[in-house]
A and B are shown apart, each in its own frame.
Chain A
Amino acid sequence: MLIVKSLCTEYPGDRGEAVRAARDVSFAVPDGKLFTLLGPSGCGKTTTLRSIAGLEVPKSGEISLHGKVVFSSAAGVSVAPNRRNFGMVFQSYAIWPHMTVYQNAAFPLQVRRDRPDRKKIADRVMRVLSAVALDDVAERAATKLSGGQQQRLALARALVMEPQLLLLDEPLSNLDAKLRERMRFELKRIQRELALTTVYVTHDQNEALALSHEIAVMREGRIVQIGSPREIYERPCSRFVADFIGTTNFIDARVIEENGDDRCRVATPVGALDVRCLDRMHRNEAAIVSVRPEDVELSEQAPEAGGADAVRAGVVDAKAFLGEHLDFQVRIGDLVLLARAHPSLRTPVGEKIFVRLRAEKCIALRAASAGP
């Protein structure tokens, strides 16, 4: 179990002031799980990861793995990065250009204090290289590898040392789209097979959703929500998270009445809606309703309104064909909703269309916590 407690890391800024890149970051990663730090550029993901690695010295906080403290500002403990035995894949891969593929992968074993003999090293290196399908290019110069191969070599180098913890900094961001998708599954398979405790950094929400056991969404150095991919996607706690993870429609609203634990009724520009609310909301409180485009159901015939679902009539404003699906912009009064539909729906622009919003897919967020 990796435990990070109130981690703060600062950089000296240009004018001597401190840039607070990670502020009060806390999370825990159970053994064998993959934990993702997700957030926009410059939010402090790399900083947090490097603090765990020991490449940056945090200002305060505590980091421990399997109960062993590797950093603690209170106790004045800071284990050197080369004594932590954490495997790391750098964003640039950091493949050493003056070595062959084999030498790159063998390096971590060669510099160990308890250096295994030559034969053992060769065994372990070749095992890892074949796991990432690089065994047939082992003697090639590392600079001659393609991007995907370099990525796998970087991973092999991190794995060969049998790390207690694996740290990955946007390992797929330098690959092209197709390869990225393939490597994503590859990475997932390896991580699940070896059951390696992993911290993964990315700014790509799809990657995060596809790979992780748990995701922490970061913003300006802080973690704003931690949860499973499904929780984060379906029940974002703030407008920022809802907006950052996938695309979403926001509808301004005001609470009319609370209906039990997580239901309430809100007034919106398109009339009253039954929605889910994650925090307790009070009457007359300003709120924002978030609906994913794929949850905006479209049909040409009026569907029967069942239970708490709302049905509205609208007009197709614009549409875009994207291959696997079709994006519609539907105008209901003054409100324009983005809807994602099956390409078989062929309603022309300007025609009337019916929209159904299911209560459990509409999430009410507190306007105050929702932020800008």
Chain B
Amino acid sequence: MSRTAALLASSMRLPLPEARWLVIGAAVALAAWLALAPLGFLLWQSLFTPETATAPGEFTFDNYRTAYWSAETLRLLGNSAAFAAGSASLAFVVGTFFAWINERTDTPFKSAFFALSLVPLIIPAILFTVSWILLASPKIGIVNVAVQALFATDFVVADIYSMGGMIFVDGLHQSPLAFLMMTAAFRSMDPSLEEAALMCGAAAWQIALRMTLKLAWPAAAGVFLILFLRAIESFEVPALLGLPVGIEVYTSSIYQAVQTYPSDIGLASSYAAALLVIASLCVYAQSRTAVAAEKFSTVTGKGFRPRTMRIGRWRYVTALAFALYLAIVVVLPFLVLLWCSLQRFYVAPSVAALKDLTFDAYRAVFAYPVFANAVWNSLVLSAASATIVALTTAVLAWIVVRTRLPGRWLIDDLAMLPLMFPGLVLGLAIMVCYLNIGIGVYGTLWIMLIAYVTRFMPYGMRYNSTSMLALHKELEESATMSGASWSMTFWRVVLPLLKPGLIACWLYVVIVSIRELSSSILLYSPGSEVVSIMIWEYWQNGQYVELSALGVMLIASLLGLVLLERFASRQFGVASPGV
């Protein structure tokens, strides 16, 4: 939190009315419970043997021994590291390259490219992965089928079920995020630094290497760490592409340990502990690079004007590269899903298959007994978690930004803590937590609600504290001077003024909740399926065409929601932290 804002914050020395303490206390307790309880139970569980019907769990270090002191250990660590480093590097290189093109060159159609390149952000990872299986699996992948038919061989051009394939799919899926973050980094760089180099006689490549890259370096290191963290946490890609051929990483090992019978939650928890350590290291390192980036952030205000480099005929090459990239990350995956959804059973596209187009798959989805329930669950869950997150973090942000309460930084840290939990680990931790606390939420929608609220609390905190900082405190003070009580002021003045930020925050949480899979997968039970789980089940059953039909509908509705969110953000001038 900004120090100045804290200093500006109004005095809290006045006698405090009851309602204020009640609301503040409840919000803080909620944040503390959500962030800390699962963590505690997770670590506790990792020190016990599996509980069975006959024997209770016993204290042991065996889980850690199995997890870290066996031949498997190195293989798992190696796989995870290779996968995360590969995926982060691919995403980083691709994202940075296109961010540079978009920000610093005179490539035509830039604004259209920019808008389109955000679309892949909303495609859920599971759908993106499935679409690439349909494109490049050795047996049914369109690429392989086409090449084999063309050259009459049985040579496999691309095998998506491999470490290379995993890196390719995950890297591509993350590249729009890298693109977005690097665009921001380039934007915060004073272009006159590059112009000065130009006036000194430097050529374009010398400027790119010696100025642009060097100056963007601290920000770039931060971006790379975030990408690495996201790849380490990634579940869908390793589960769908790695597990079938025995390439395991931490996330997929956790999933396996829980899914085997009898499930070994202790072992899963000790894997999870490793993930937590890696994640906290990443978050810590990232906060260090943010400090360095601050020092280099050189926008001076006066005399600032974005400038683009004239790259001559190369602009057609860059435009073509951009178009090709969009084809690979947006058009191709979506088209293949669309194609697949219009078939009776999956066949590679051909003129013959064109005659068999049908809406049967869509009909089947609607007729699927779980469908209505899953859609309803998704809607209820996302709306409820968005509302709770938006309101709770509004109070928390108010405390952090506006008051001088001792220890308020702790609240900020608590609310941001879940950022470190990979989705799967959070699911596991919450599962363990509420298996042990018998308040009857396990196996219901409630436990998923708890997971969603915990997982998305940090985003709400970011949205709300940004808009809180922009809100002049005298607006509140004048309400107080007019005689309004604290709750009256909060309800009638603060919340309405925060409304734009709240709306954007709410829509954002709705979108990410609907997409959520990696936490839900350990928490759902019959009756509490959500849409993303339904996609997962279709996959497990090999129902590709129904999966595609559901996927197409999901992408379409998410796209609508994102447009709404962008509109809300723009309308009210709130920066969205990116999907």
Contact with B along A295-329 (1 / 0, CB 8 A): 00000000000000000000000000000000000
List which A56-108 residues lie within 8 A (CB) of chain B. 57, 81-88, 90-92, 94, 96-98, 107-108
In-complex Cβ contact of B202 among A85, A98, A111, A169 (8 A)? A111
B211 CB contacts on chain A under 8 angstroms: 96
A53 CB contacts on chain B under 8 angstroms: 199
In-complex Cβ contact of B303 among A86, A87, A90, A167 (8 A)? A90
Contact with B along A270-314 (1 / 0, CB 8 A): 000000000000000000000000000000000000000000000
Cβ of A55 and Cβ of B196 under 8 Å apart?
no
List which B380-409 residues lie within 8 A (CB) of chain A. none
A57 CB contacts on chain B under 8 angstroms: 310
Cβ of A91 and Cβ of B202 under 8 Å apart?
no
List which B280-301 residues lie within 8 A (CB) of chain A. 295-296, 298, 300
Cβ of A91 and Cβ of B302 under 8 Å apart?
yes
Cβ of A112 and Cβ of B214 under 8 Å apart?
no
B195 CB contacts on chain A under 8 angstroms: 55, 81, 88, 90, 94
Cβ of A97 and Cβ of B296 under 8 Å apart?
yes
Of chain B, the residue at the smallest CB distance from A174 is B302
In-complex Cβ contact of A92 among B200, B210, B303, B310 (8 A)? B303
Of chain B, the residue at the smallest CB distance from A11 is B305
Complex Cα distance A107/B199, Å? 11
Complex Cα distance A157/B201, Å? 12
Of chain A, the residue at the smallest CB distance from B211 is A96
Is residue A206 contacting chain B, with contact meaning CB distance below 8 A?
Answer: no
Cβ of A161 and Cβ of B200 under 8 Å apart?
yes
Is residue B190 contacting chain A, with contact meaning CB distance below 8 A?
Answer: yes
Is residue A151 contacting chain B, with contact meaning CB distance below 8 A?
Answer: no
Of chain B, the residue at the smallest CB distance from A81 is B198
Is residue A46 contacting chain B, with contact meaning CB distance below 8 A?
Answer: yes
A174 CB contacts on chain B under 8 angstroms: 302
Contact with B along A27-61 (1 / 0, CB 8 A): 00000000000000000001000000101010000
In-complex Cβ contact of A96 among B196, B203, B217 (8 A)? B196
Q: Given known contacts A46-B303, A55-B307, is B196 in contact with A94 (CB within 8 Å)?
A: yes
In-complex Cβ contact of B300 among A83, A92, A143 (8 A)? A92
A170 CB contacts on chain B under 8 angstroms: 303
Chain A: interface residue count, which band?
Answer: 20 to 34
Contact with A along B398-441 (1 / 0, CB 8 A): 00000000000000000000000000000000000000000000
B298 CB contacts on chain A under 8 angstroms: 97
In-complex Cβ contact of B201 among A92, A143, A161, A167 (8 A)? A161
Contact with A along B296-323 (1 / 0, CB 8 A): 1010101110010010000000000000
Is residue B89 contacting chain A, with contact meaning CB distance below 8 A?
Answer: no
A46 CB contacts on chain B under 8 angstroms: 303
Complex Cα distance A98/B209, Å? 13
User: Which DSSP category, helix, strand, loop or mixed, fits chain B's interface?
Assistant: helix
Q: Given known contacts A46-B303, A111-B206, A169-B303, is B199 in contact with A88 (CB within 8 Å)?
A: yes
A85 CB contacts on chain B under 8 angstroms: 201
Q: Given known contacts A90-B192, A94-B190, A94-B196, is B201 in contact with A112 (CB within 8 Å)?
A: yes
Cβ of B203 and Cβ of A111 under 8 Å apart?
yes
Complex Cα distance A91/B197, Å? 15
Complex Cα distance A345/B146, Å? 99
Distance from A80 Cβ to chain B, minimum over Cβ atoms (Å): 8
B192 CB contacts on chain A under 8 angstroms: 90-92, 94
Complex Cα distance A219/B198, Å? 29
Distance from A103 Cβ to chain B, minimum over Cβ atoms (Å): 10
Of chain A, the residue at the smallest CB distance from B214 is A98
Complex Cα distance A87/B197, Å? 10
Cβ of B201 and Cβ of A96 under 8 Å apart?
no
Cβ of B295 and Cβ of A107 under 8 Å apart?
no
Of chain A, the residue at the smallest CB distance from B303 is A91
Of chain A, the residue at the smallest CB distance from B218 is A98
* Contacts between chains A and B (CB distance < 8 A), count: 82
Of chain A, the residue at the smallest CB distance from B191 is A94
Complex Cα distance A82/B201, Å? 4
Distance from B110 Cβ to chain A, minimum over Cβ atoms (Å): 13
Cβ of A98 and Cβ of B303 under 8 Å apart?
no
Q: Given known contacts A55-B307, A91-B302, A143-B295, is B215 in contact with A97 (CB within 8 Å)?
A: yes
Is residue B193 contacting chain A, with contact meaning CB distance below 8 A?
Answer: yes
Which of B199, B215, B303, B310 is the most central at the interface, judged by chain A CB atoms within 10 Å of its CB?
A: B199
A97 CB contacts on chain B under 8 angstroms: 193, 215, 295-296, 298
Complex Cα distance A158/B203, Å? 17
Q: Given known contacts A55-B195, A92-B192, A96-B211, is B203 in contact with A82 (CB within 8 Å)?
A: yes
Of chain A, the residue at the smallest CB distance from B206 is A111
Distance from B424 Cβ to chain A, minimum over Cβ atoms (Å): 39
List which B176-202 residues lie within 8 A (CB) of chain A. 190, 192-193, 195-202
B295 CB contacts on chain A under 8 angstroms: 97, 143
Complex Cα distance A98/B296, Å? 8
Distance from A38 Cβ to chain B, minimum over Cβ atoms (Å): 17
B202 CB contacts on chain A under 8 angstroms: 82, 107, 111
Distance from A306 Cβ to chain B, minimum over Cβ atoms (Å): 51
List which A161-206 residues lie within 8 A (CB) of chain B. 161, 167, 169-170, 174
B214 CB contacts on chain A under 8 angstroms: 98
Complex Cα distance A57/B308, Å? 12
Distance from A319 Cβ to chain B, minimum over Cβ atoms (Å): 36
Cβ of A157 and Cβ of B198 under 8 Å apart?
no
Of chain A, the residue at the smallest CB distance from B203 is A82
Complex Cα distance A157/B295, Å? 22
In-complex Cβ contact of B217 among A88, A98, A154 (8 A)? A98
B217 CB contacts on chain A under 8 angstroms: 98
Complex Cα distance A157/B202, Å? 13
Complex Cα distance A91/B310, Å? 22
B200 CB contacts on chain A under 8 angstroms: 82, 107-108, 111, 157, 161
Complex Cα distance A158/B193, Å? 13
Of chain A, the residue at the smallest CB distance from B215 is A98
Distance from A97 Cβ to chain B, minimum over Cβ atoms (Å): 6
Contact with A along B341-366 (1 / 0, CB 8 A): 00000000000000000000000000
Contact with A along B124-137 (1 / 0, CB 8 A): 00000000000000
B210 CB contacts on chain A under 8 angstroms: 107, 111
Cβ of A83 and Cβ of B303 under 8 Å apart?
no
Cβ of A87 and Cβ of B201 under 8 Å apart?
no
Q: Taking beta carbons and an 8 Å cutoff, which residues of B are in contact with A?
A: 190, 192-193, 195-203, 206, 210-211, 214-215, 217, 295-296, 298, 300, 302-304, 307, 310
28 contacts between A and B (CB under 8 A): A55-B199, A55-B307, A57-B310, A81-B198, A81-B199, A82-B198, A82-B199, A82-B200, A83-B201, A84-B199, A87-B199, A88-B196, A90-B192, A90-B196, A90-B303, A92-B300, A94-B192, A96-B211, A96-B215, A97-B193, A98-B214, A98-B217, A98-B296, A107-B200, A107-B210, A111-B201, A111-B202, A157-B200
A-B interface, 5 closest residue pairs, ranked by CB to CB distance from nearest:
A108-B200, A91-B303, A94-B196, A111-B202, A94-B192
Q: Can you name 17 extra interface pairs (CB under 8 A) apart from A55-B307, A82-B203?
A: A53-B199, A82-B200, A86-B199, A88-B195, A90-B196, A92-B303, A94-B195, A96-B193, A96-B196, A96-B211, A97-B295, A98-B214, A107-B197, A111-B202, A154-B196, A157-B196, A161-B201
Q: Taking beta carbons and an 8 Å cutoff, which residues of A are in contact with B?
A: 46, 53, 55, 57, 81-88, 90-92, 94, 96-98, 107-108, 111-113, 143, 154, 157-158, 161, 167, 169-170, 174
